[in-house]
């Protein structure tokens, strides 16, 4: 590593080293900064307070997103100090739901080079292109091909907002040092013709690559990552189902990798279920779930629930039978001939059912889980049917962003007479019904993927396994207090996200050591290992 220390004007334009107005008088003289800054230094605490006020003056969350994005490029320490000063407030700005709008308007609001773009026309030389990244020790890549961004569809290179946002949360929520993180977009074209006809569109102007060519491109990318960054974990993000499932299957046993939409979503749903069972007084083995949506998120959640049931002594086939899926063509039943391989485990031996409320009445689930990205499908009839069948119906509308949620918190509580155990994918405000105050939980993947990242970072794990996500789910659920539960909250408050993530990371790391997956020696104290690796947003002396 070079001992050259940036000084003067160059130093003020290095986001990792820049302290802005916090440089002391002594530092200004020593580093050639005299005259380049207003003369009175401010502490980091005052800088954070000033930015809180400045952000509050802006008119919209998209403006706040852009302001914070600019700050990240100017002064990384201050950016993370702001985020970590109030994570519950800032997470919806740097990630969902605001990031969805930022991705949609990517070409109009593009500011700075961030991360790496690997276009299909660079095939054959991806390793060379990827080596242009200045950091030579990358531990995390979050990568998208932009085809299925949240519930918004194909946004081409505009999808880059997702990897950037996810990696900011790795650091803000679990303390993963940002210098080890690399956002990547694989540009294989777009089938969004509005984008292709837009003169400002910044991606390749071609239809999406499919089939063998696409897979070869993915293979080349994975090989390039392995060659350049042998300790790197690849997180796949917002790929279309028909690519997401086979990509995960292709690499999960070969490299350190996971798909957050499939496995992270599953873990946070399972965490919500574990906590919900403390309210319903039932066991996991007694549950039956009905999913609205039958894509990779639904099957990922259903499979992790099934594996968790298996750990409690239920045969895996029987456990899968307790998880039913419903899509645009109705209940997934064995007589249908249009099911993908990854859906077949969950096909019910049942007559066809064409409406969701009929499926609720026929299967009598203890919980319904929405991953359809179609709003309002958990209507009054559905919620009332669930409340009729169950004393405490589990209602999880997990679709993002908020505009795609299957129902609101208020609807779930009102239509169930306050008996619903509720969590959603997007944030909802507290609800007062019948003299009771409810705090709706947000089943946000932020409870699991940063913790997984920190555990992998600290242990240098060579794989990410399904069981690691069950461990993560249990670790999240056990942090929900009785006071949280009394308000209907089944996730730890997001204000405690760093503490929650480090607890989960410690549990996952211990499991990694137990399974012999770590590439570092097991320490006497796993928690101390995690805490020794944490990034803290403070200026170096």
Rounded Cα distance, 243 and 457, in Å: 27
398 belongs to the catalytic site: no
Compute the half-sphere exposure of residue 85: CA atoms within 13 Å on the CB side of its CA: 16
Give the angle subtended at the CA of 126 by the CAs of 120 and 129, to the nearest 5°. Answer: 105
Cβ atoms of 365 and 290 within 8 Å: the answer is yes
Neighbours of 59 (CB within 10 A): 7
Query: Long-range CB contacts (< 8 A, 24+ apart) of 273-278?
Result: 273/305, 273/367, 273/394, 273/473, 274/473, 274/474, 274/476, 274/477, 274/478, 275/476, 275/477, 275/480, 275/485, 275/490, 275/491, 276/367, 276/392, 276/394, 276/421, 276/423, 276/490, 278/480, 278/485
The stretches of 21-105 forming alpha helices (DSSP H) are: 25-30, 44-57, 61-74, 76-85, 87-94, 98-104
Distances (CA, A) of 206 to 113, 209, 217: 22, 8, 16
Cβ atoms of 175 and 502 within 8 Å: the answer is yes
Distances (CA, A) of 469 to 61, 77, 223, 305: 32, 30, 25, 11
Cβ atoms of 298 and 291 within 8 Å: the answer is yes
Stated length of the chain: 541
Read off the tokens for 267. 């873990």
Read off the tokens for 325. 């899926």
Q: What is the largest CA-CA distance in the chain?
A: 80
Decide: residue 273, CB within 10 A, 0-12 exposed, 13-18 middle, 19+ buried: buried
Instruction: Determine how β-strand 323-327 pairs with β-strand 330-331.
Output: antiparallel
Give the residue among 238, 96, 60 at the shortest CA–CA distance from 160.
238
Neighbours of 317 (CB within 10 A): 10
Cβ atoms of 266 and 471 within 8 Å: the answer is no
Read off the tokens for 96. 């969902």
The active-site residue, picked from 65, 80, 95, 398, is: 95
Rounded Cα distance, 233 and 518, in Å: 13
The active-site residue, picked from 166, 251, 398, 413, is: 166
Rounded Cα distance, 296 and 259, in Å: 10
95 belongs to the catalytic site: yes
Q: What are phi and psi of 331, to 5 degrees?
A: -60, 140
Catalytic residues: 95, 166
């Amino acid at each position: 590593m070079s001992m050259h220390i940036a000084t003067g004007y160059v130093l003020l334009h290095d986001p990792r080293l820049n302290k802005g107005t916090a440089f002391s008088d002594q530092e200004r003289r020593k580093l050639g900064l005299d005259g380049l800054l207003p003369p009175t230094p401010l502490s980091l605490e005052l800088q954070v307070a000033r930015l809180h006020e400045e952000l509050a003056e802006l008119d919209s969350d998209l403006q706040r997103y852009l302001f914070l994005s600019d700050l990240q490029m100017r002064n990384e320490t201050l950016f993370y100090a702001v985020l970590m000063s109030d994570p519950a407030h800032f997470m919806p700005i740097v990630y969902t739901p605001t990031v969805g709008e930022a991705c949609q308007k990517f070409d109009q609001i593009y500011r700075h080079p961030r991360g790496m773009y690997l276009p299909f026309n660079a095939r054959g030389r991806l390793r060379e292109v990827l080596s242009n990244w200045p950091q030579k020790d990358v531990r995390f890549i979050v990568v998208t091909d932009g085809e299925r961004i949240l519930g918004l569809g194909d946004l081409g290179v505009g999808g880059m907002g997702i990897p950037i946002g996810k990696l900011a949360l790795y650091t803000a929520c679990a303390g993963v040092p940002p210098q080890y993180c690399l956002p990547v977009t694989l540009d294989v074209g777009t089938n969004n013709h509005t984008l292709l006809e837009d003169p400002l569109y910044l991606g390749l102007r071609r239809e999406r690559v499919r089939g063998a060519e696409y897979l070869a491109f993915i293979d080349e990318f994975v090989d390039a990552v392995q060659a350049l960054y042998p300790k790197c974990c690849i997180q796949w993000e917002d790929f279309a189902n028909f690519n997401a499932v086979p990509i995960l299957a292709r690499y999960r046993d070969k490299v350190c990798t996971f798909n957050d939409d499939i496995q992270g979503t599953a873990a946070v749903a399972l965490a919500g279920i574990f906590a919900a069972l403390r309210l319903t007084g039932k066991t996991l083995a007694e549950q039956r779930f009905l999913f609205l949506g039958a894509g990779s998120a639904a099957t990922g959640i259903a499979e992790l629930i099934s594996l968790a049931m298996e750990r409690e002594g239920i045969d895996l086939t029987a456990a899968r039978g307790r998880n039913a899926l419903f899509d645009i063509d109705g209940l997934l039943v064995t007589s249908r001939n249009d099911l993908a391989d990854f859906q077949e485990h969950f096909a019910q031996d049942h007559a066809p059912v064409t409406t969701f409320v009929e499926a609720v009445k026929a299967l009598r689930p203890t919980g319904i889980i929405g991953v359809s990205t179609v709003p309002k499908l958990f209507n009054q009839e559905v919620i009332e049917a669930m409340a009729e069948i169950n004393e405490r119906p589990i209602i999880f509308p997990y679709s993002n962003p908020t505009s795609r949620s299957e129902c609101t918190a208020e609807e779930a509580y009102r239509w169930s007479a306050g008996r619903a155990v509720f969590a959603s994918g997007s944030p909802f405000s507290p609800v007062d019904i019948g003299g009771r105050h409810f705090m709706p939980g947000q089943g946000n993947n932020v409870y699991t993927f940063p913790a997984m990242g920190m555990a992998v970072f600290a242990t240098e794990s060579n794989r990410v396994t399904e069981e690691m996500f069950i461990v993560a789910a249990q670790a999240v659920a056990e942090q929900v207090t009785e006071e949280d539960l009394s308000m209907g909250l089944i996730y730890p408050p997001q204000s405690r996200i760093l503490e929650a993530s480090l607890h989960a990371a410690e549990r996952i790391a211990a499991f990694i050591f137990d399974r012999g997956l770590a590439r570092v020696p097991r320490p006497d104290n796993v928690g101390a290992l995690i805490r020794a690796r944490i990034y803290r947003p403070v200026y170096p002396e």
